[in-house]
Structure 1
Amino acid sequence: MSTSRTVEETPPGPPEDEPARSPSPPRPTLPAWLPFLAGSLAMLAVGGYRLTAVSLDWDEGATVSASGRPVPEILGLAGHVDGVIAPYYLFLHFWTRVFGSSDLALRAPSLIAMALGVGLVAELGRRLIGPATGLVAGLICAAIPALSYYSAQARPYALAFALATLATLSLYRAVERPSWRRWCWYAGFLLAAGVVHILAATVLVAHLIIVAGRWYAGRDRALLRALPASAVTAVALAPLAVLGAREQQVQLAWVTSPTWRDVAAAPEQVVQSAQVAFLLVGLALVATVVLRRRTAAELVVLAVVPVGLMLLVSLAVPVWVPRYGTFALGPLAILAAGTVTAPARPSAGTLPRVALRATVVLALIAVEALPAQILARQSHSSPDSRGLAGVIEANVAPGDGLVFGDFAWSLRPTVEHYLARHSWTAPDAAPRDLLLTRDAGRLGSLDAQECADVAACLGTTPRIWLVTPVSPAHPIDAATSKMHALRARYAVTATWAKDQGMVSLLVRR
């Protein structure tokens, strides 16, 4: 009687997102390890499917070029461009010395990191809300096109996603029991995230907001240990941030200040699917009603504040590129999963309904994501350097030369990456790079130095393979000194287009 009366007199409040505590709690229906394992395996399967179907893209050309250099040359490059990505280049340099530099070896770290990152998202969802939410959040992440895309790209974004999520998870562990040891672990993970990609450190602002809210609610002085841990991390990352700011005009010169249209398009651009973004944002908005207020508010802070900060900074110093917001997708997935699973209680009556609801939502997200998932395995909107190299291999003749047109900083390393893997390649058969005088590594740049006197360097080479991006008119008609010298001595006899790149066979007149 007394228990019943107590329940009836309890004032209504927002729905709980955790099972109510009781002297004899119900036995968990899902093992604690299942969300992490399921999320990791799902991402490994989805991201690993046709991992090398697309050849190395524009940015991966920079990765191949930089990571293949000796360590001093990588450090030299960092002083001119890509300084904030230099730690990733160093990591991949040593990785490829062990595992080789095939497409699979180059992309495997991203796939592994993304799988672990998705597993960590699932674990975070389990800790904040419950096992079912963690499980669904991990499966949602596996369906998000952007996460599949960056799991198959030899760039640092998957590592940044994993480490930023790990830093957030360690934050909650430190908040639960704010010991110095836990805050040191938190600072270490946050530092690692910032080192891999400096803009991942923007999660620190969201973390400080969460700690401030927790401190205000309970006035727990132990939470103030977050301040020195955060300060040490910020100071340690400051040189990298200064280096990035100094190189912004070189590395991100093409980025413009965001407009309101860019802000509105941010969810679609970060997710890489308008339909999936609409579903996730809609479910996340519902989560702010059905979840506990503090849990929902903190997840919103984690998803919105880092991206909002980058957009705000970009008004003065343009740095916003949608791929930099990838690590905000974890909290968004947890919010969406919370909407699906929050009403669940570990009882026989509710779990089947929640399982059905989760299945329907996951199926809907997967169907809406399918076009973008397919496209990511067909094209990265870059030249198909593998296909270009294949054309050269199939039609090469002894004594042929090789010339690169625009965007040689990426085309040269990627095409030569694939040419070096063809069985026919030998010193007397491989086409020679006719205009190369000093490689990019010696210059501390991504661009190599080419002959000033193009005609002299072309010499009497009978045939030349010209590799360029696709353009409306043939590149040889461009009004540049290089193309003028080629046009005066050679005629185009055949052209092959491969995605956003093309290779032309020129024969001496």
Structure 2
Amino acid sequence: MQTLAPLAPPRPEPAAGTTVRDRRPTRWLCWLVPAMVTGVVVAVRAGTPGPWRDELATWSAAHRTVPQIVELGRHIDGVTVPYYLLAHVMAGFGDSILVLRLPSMLAATATAAVTALLARRLWDPRAAFVAGLLVAAMPVVSRYGQEARGYALAALFAVTATLFLLRALGSGRWWDWLAYATSVLFLGWSHQLALLLLLGHAVTVAVIKRRALFAWLAGVAVAATGVLPFTLLGVGQHAAQLDWLSPAEPADLADVAGTIFLSGVIGGAVCALALMALRGRDRRASLLFVSALLPVLTLYAIDQLVTPMFVGRYLVFVVPLLCALAGRALADLRLPLGLTAVLVLAAIGLPLQEDIRRTHSGSDYRQAAAMIHAQSRPGDGIIYAPRAGWHFTDIALRYYLGDDVPKDVLLQSDEVANASLWATECAGPAACLAGTDRVWTLSGDDLETGRRAGSTDQLTPAQQAVLNGSFRQMSQARVDGFTLALFVRRASR
């Protein structure tokens, strides 16, 4: 196969009467402005939505010691240990969820800048400017830019690794390959499934400069040495962590744009624009599209053939690549028309942006905690049901109420002692409830079916027998996602 020229051809000399200084503002404003806009958009009410279950897991892990986080990874979330270590560092600056979300906010801001830099390298500053603003307009960028998990970081390092790959292919310099390897390392630390991006990178290297394949493999190998220990920690954990998933259907693959972008209209529009960028046999655009497409198809294949894991948020890292392509397509229009298209997509996403800033899930942990706090008395106990579920209601109440949470009357050993995200309950509920006259139950709705929880139907038969025999139910209340009930001990005869 004939070796092709590097992706970024030498730029022409300035025309007569035009100085390099005249062009510099365009070259840096095309990424700086989108970054500033994205930073403002992501920061708006970033602390308003309460943490949802995944963020509660982050909060729990962040407040453990480093050895405890590593030990947690031996039992669950082994591949997430690098992110938990980052969260542990952030927890030193404050206890609020906003502090834990700050790395994601900064990552989303940087993603807009790097997406623009990628589009500028591939095409021109106009494509860069529009591509960066598209990132700012995406509701999915706000959603995961305001979440204390690694998805926004994965998006940042996916586009950064792609940019450094193109630089390394164009220059062949060892430090560019080192920068690429470092980006891939951070990509794997952020979210290991994002390493599916390497499939597209392999194709890019094979097409653009096949003789650089050894250098690329060396860079990937360097990154792998840093990712592999956490991969080994997570071996065997996927079945327990993804037991709530069912295999995807063909319709899920057909609707993947809406799933990734959180909006079928916005996702469809961006993907359509990305396809438009392929016209004219632009090999650079085609390779970028392949880098975005292969991870989607591969994850679906893994879902069908290995284990269910076709989840939209696992693919958020392809969003900036598609935005870069869409920016290329819009750059073919006059700039006012391209910007108008961005504004239209932003306007379509406004209702979703509002929803994102209200809640990140259908479970109102904050209201449940507020109701218990307002009505509880000293000496009250609480039973969390189901303890082994994914609601993490015990962690949520500690987040909101701190030391004011009612006594966990069935607690035998907590999640830290268990090196887990779940506590262990005592085997004899009658003995554990002795001396407690008022007991709350907090039950989460079924996450798979959405069936509402009753006051005791999620408890074990032994727990139900004690409550029904020795207590009487005084009240029951509903908040989104939960049922709360108060039981008072029957008077002895």
Summarize deviations over 1:266-308 as a string: whole Å, max 9, x none.
1111100011011111111211115x51121022012111222
Shift of 1:247: 1.2
1:414 aligns to what? 396
Query: Aligned match of 2:228 in 238, 243, 247?
Result: 238
Secondary structure of 1:440's counterpart equals: coil
Deviates more, 1:314-323 or 1:108-117: 314-323
2:346 aligns to what? 366
1:483 aligns with 2:474: no
Cα distance between partner residues in 1 of 2:14 and 2:346? 41
Read off the aligned partner of 1:254 and give its amino acid letter.
W
2:438 aligns to what? 463
Shift of 1:155: 0.8
1:307 aligns to what? 296
Cα distance between partner residues in 1 of 2:9 and 2:337? 18
Shift of 1:235: 4.7
Cα distance between partner residues in 2 of 1:408 and 1:255? 13
1:100 aligns to what? 94
1:402 aligns with 2:382: yes
Cα distance between partner residues in 2 of 1:225 and 1:206? 16
Query: Aligned match of 2:198 in 204, 214, 228?
Result: 204
Change (3 A) 1:310 1:28: same
Cα distance between partner residues in 1 of 2:419 and 2:455? 28
Secondary structure of 1:447's counterpart equals: coil
Q: CA RMSD in A?
A: 2.4
Summarize deviations over 1:122-170 as a string: whole Å, max 9, x none.
2211221111211111211122122111111111111111122211111
Cα distance between partner residues in 1 of 2:453 and 2:233? 39
Shift of 1:495: 3.0
1:66 aligns to what? 61
1:9 aligns to what? none
Query: Aligned match of 1:441 in 416, 419, 427?
Result: 416
Shift of 1:30: 5.2
Query: 2:471·2:489 contact (CA, 8 Å) conserved in 1?
Result: yes
Shift of 1:485: 2.5
Change (3 A) 1:504 1:33: farther
2:3 aligns to what? none
Deviates more, 1:493-502 or 1:169-178: 493-502
Cα distance between partner residues in 1 of 2:288 and 2:34? 19
Query: 1:194·1:200 contact (CA, 8 Å) conserved in 2?
Result: yes
Shift of 1:333: 0.6
Cα distance between partner residues in 1 of 2:470 and 2:145? 45
Read off the aligned partner of 1:414 and give its amino acid letter.
A
1:208-357 correspondence runs (5 A): 208-215=202-209, 221=211, 224-289=214-279, 293-318=282-307, 319-342=309-332, 354-357=334-337
Change (3 A) 1:228 1:377: same
Shift of 1:409: 6.0
Deviates more, 1:140-149 or 1:255-264: 255-264
Summarize deviations over 1:21-41 as a string: whole Å, max 9, x none.
466276538522223222222
1:383 aligns to what? 363
Deviates more, 1:80-89 or 1:20-29: 20-29
Cα distance between partner residues in 2 of 1:23 and 1:52? 47
Deviates more, 1:310-319 or 1:180-189: 310-319
Change (3 A) 1:410 1:327: same
Query: 2:292·2:321 contact (CA, 8 Å) conserved in 1?
Result: yes
Summarize deviations over 1:94-119 as a string: whole Å, max 9, x none.
2212x112121121121111111222
Read off the aligned partner of 1:456 and give its amino acid letter.
A
Read off the aligned partner of 1:305 and give its amino acid letter.
L
Change (3 A) 1:408 1:192: closer
Secondary structure of 1:28's counterpart equals: helix
Query: 1:388·1:498 contact (CA, 8 Å) conserved in 2?
Result: yes
1:51 aligns with 2:46: yes
1:24 aligns with 2:6: no
Shift of 1:92: 0.9
Summarize deviations over 1:436-469 as a string: whole Å, max 9, x none.
1101111121110111111211123222222221
Secondary structure of 1:32's counterpart equals: helix
Read off the aligned partner of 2:156 and give its amino acid letter.
A
Secondary structure of 1:491's counterpart equals: strand
Change (3 A) 1:431 1:239: closer
Query: Aligned match of 1:453 in 412, 424, 428?
Result: 428
Identity %: 34
Shift of 1:413: 0.8
Change (3 A) 1:20 1:321: same
Cα distance between partner residues in 2 of 1:408 and 1:402? 18
Cα distance between partner residues in 1 of 2:95 and 2:453? 35
Change (3 A) 1:117 1:22: closer
TM-score by length of 1: 0.87
Secondary structure of 2:382's counterpart equals: strand
Cα distance between partner residues in 2 of 1:161 and 1:23? 35
Change (3 A) 1:17 1:356: farther
Secondary structure of 1:443's counterpart equals: coil
Secondary structure of 2:23's counterpart equals: coil
Change (3 A) 1:322 1:165: same
Query: 2:441·2:455 contact (CA, 8 Å) conserved in 1?
Result: no
Q: Aligned residue pairs: how many?
A: 471
Read off the aligned partner of 1:142 and give its amino acid letter.
A
Shift of 1:245: 4.0
Secondary structure of 2:27's counterpart equals: coil
1:4 aligns to what? none
Cα distance between partner residues in 2 of 1:115 and 1:434? 45
Change (3 A) 1:499 1:39: farther
Query: 1:408·1:447 contact (CA, 8 Å) conserved in 2?
Result: no
Structure 1: tracts of 5 or more residues without a match: 1-15, 344-353
Change (3 A) 1:371 1:17: farther
Query: 2:454·2:483 contact (CA, 8 Å) conserved in 1?
Result: no
Change (3 A) 1:392 1:478: closer
